[in-house]
């Protein structure tokens, strides 16, 4: 539906990178991205509108990351992005592009235009780690903190 990697494919890609020896592996940042109030969008505007929002959000995410980075659907209203290489400031700039793009975007529905926002949790794979699950857990916790602090923002684990 969204034209991006599914959960299984993005996990396989991330785990391949995580399994590399730490001296051979580039820095990896994981973004967990939640589309705010998707259930409400589905309930009020219909599932077709919700599906359209997911498709357009996936396009926005894909255009916000760098060439070589990977965006995938995590499930439901959540997406993952694996950012390869770069510094924390690069990750922050990508998150700002995503948030800015979402603020500027208007999504069409049967009831008119709707504004949609996202919250983002960030976690980095440390040199001693080779398991994506722990990194995802930290990104999920950071995502929860973003939501707790007012949504439409990003938080680093």
Q: Catalytic residue numbers?
A: 77
Buried/exposed 8-32: b ≥16 CB within 10 Å, e otherwise: eebbebbeebbeeeeeebebbbbbb
Asked if 38 and 105 touch (Cβ cutoff 8 Å), the reply is no
How far apart are alpha carbons 108 and 106 in whole angstroms?
Answer: 7
Strands 78-84 and 118-125 turn out to be unpaired
């Amino acid at each position: 539906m969204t034209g991006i990697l599914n959960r299984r494919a993005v996990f396989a890609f991330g785990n391949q990178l995580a399994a590399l020896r730490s001296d051979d592996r580039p820095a990896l940042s994981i973004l967990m991205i939640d589309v705010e109030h998707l259930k409400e969008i589905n309930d009020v505007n219909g599932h077709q509108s919700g599906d359209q929002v997911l498709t357009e959000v996936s396009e926005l995410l894909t255009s916000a990351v760098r060439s070589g980075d990977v965006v995938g659907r995590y499930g439901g209203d959540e997406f993952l992005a694996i950012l390869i290489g770069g510094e924390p400031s690069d990750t922050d700039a990508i998150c700002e592009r995503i948030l800015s793009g979402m603020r500027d975007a208007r999504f069409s529905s049967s009831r008119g235009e709707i504004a949609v926002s996202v919250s983002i949790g960030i976690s980095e794979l440390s040199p001693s780690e080779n398991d994506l699950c722990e990194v995802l857990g930290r990104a999920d916790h950071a995502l929860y903190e973003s939501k707790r602090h007012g949504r439409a923002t990003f938080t680093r684990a």
